[in-house]
Amino acid sequence: MTITDPVPELCRILCDDASPNLALRFRALFSLKHLATQGNTSAVEAIAAAFVSNSALLKHELAYCLGQSKQFSAAAPLQAVLQDEAEDSMVRHEAGEALGALGHTPSLELLRSYIGHKEEVISQTCELAVARIEWEASEAAKTELLQTSAFASIDPAPPLPGTVKEVDCAKLQMKLNDQSVPLFERYRAMFRLRDIASPEAIDALASGLDDPSALFRHEIAFVFGQLSDPHSIPALIKAAGNKSEASMVRHEAVEALGSIADERVEEFLKEYAKDEERVVRESAEVALDMAEFERSGQLEYALIPQSA
């Protein structure tokens, strides 16, 4: 039996901007991400090829996947996206964050040049990416005792150190919301709270949804998506349904709701699928597909088995 290379077909599906089936394209992307993470450079190229799409939602997910791929060959297309002034700021943000996730030291100078950029989300993203790369090379990274996380993602910041027994959500909440503390430290408190994952930790995280920074608020929603805990539903619905909230935050809240297998969220997702903001609509469309998949009991959301 001959095993055909799945990359060309996955690339064709992913790059088909005329397709009405965005969820299918996301499935193709997740399959390519899996291959890329295993070192398949043509999968990295296939993901980067889809940056010509006109969907900001899809493009920001491409950047996220490239950042998680651990492949330095993804750095050049990510740098190009970050530098593209005509690109959507959510996509540029994700490209900057991805360079940090790759730990791409050669990008440090470029990332530093965006600190202070007029778009706060780009400036803050690059500040975090620089801090992340610098932290990785630091002595602290070698000596700090980080609790093993239940999440496999490469995050914009490592959690604050702490053991299972050292849990002080009130103290972490104070650090999370303290605007006099560098953003990187506040993100470390955020990821520590995520890893604690108790209802108290979720309430502490929800307090961050009042932060003045849209980047910060969207990351709280992202973390809620990872936790997929019904306890976060009220806070997520408040953010997702708030039409004056930044679309990047609303999108992330919609996606997070989609990751929570709870019948209460479906009616909200159907409503968001009709939203006037494209990125919110598309997020709801993909979220509904994922919820459908959860119910169907299929094993893999991606188009090819993750264990392949």
To Fe ion, the closest distance from the beta carbon of 73 in angstroms equals 22
Interaxial angle between packed helices 233-240 and 214-227, expressed in degrees from 0 to 180 and rounded to the nearest 10:
140
- Interaction residues for Fe ion, span 207-226 (CB under 5 A): none
To Fe ion, the closest distance from the beta carbon of 145 in angstroms equals 28
To Fe ion, the closest distance from the beta carbon of 93 in angstroms equals 6
| Alpha carbons 152 and 189: distance in angstroms, whole number | 18
Q: Candidates 22-30, 166-174, 176-184, 251-259 — which segment interacts with Fe ion by CB under 5 A?
A: 251-259
Interaxial angle between packed helices 233-240 and 247-258, expressed in degrees from 0 to 180 and rounded to the nearest 10:
140
- Of 196 and 220, nearer to Fe ion (C-beta) is 220
Q: Candidates 11-19, 247-255, 286-294, 296-304 — which segment interacts with Fe ion by CB under 5 A?
A: 247-255
To Fe ion, the closest distance from the beta carbon of 215 in angstroms equals 8
- Of 195 and 252, nearer to Fe ion (C-beta) is 252
- Of 196 and 215, nearer to Fe ion (C-beta) is 215
Contact present, 209 and 227 (Cβ < 8 Å): no
| Phi and psi at residue 154, to the nearest 5° | -90, 115
To Fe ion, the closest distance from the beta carbon of 166 in angstroms equals 29
Q: Candidates 31-39, 67-75, 165-173, 246-254 — which segment interacts with Fe ion by CB under 5 A?
A: 246-254
* Residues in binding contact with Fe ion, number by CB under 5 A: 1
Q: Candidates 19-27, 48-56, 199-207, 252-260 — which segment interacts with Fe ion by CB under 5 A?
A: 252-260
To Fe ion, the closest distance from the beta carbon of 222 in angstroms equals 6
Q: Candidates 154-162, 177-185, 245-253, 259-267 — which segment interacts with Fe ion by CB under 5 A?
A: 245-253
- Of 40 and 79, nearer to Fe ion (C-beta) is 79
What length is written for the chain? Answer: 308
- Of 7 and 131, nearer to Fe ion (C-beta) is 131
To Fe ion, the closest distance from the beta carbon of 26 in angstroms equals 12
- Interaction residues for Fe ion, span 36-65 (CB under 5 A): none
Point out which residues bind Fe ion (CB under 5 A): 252
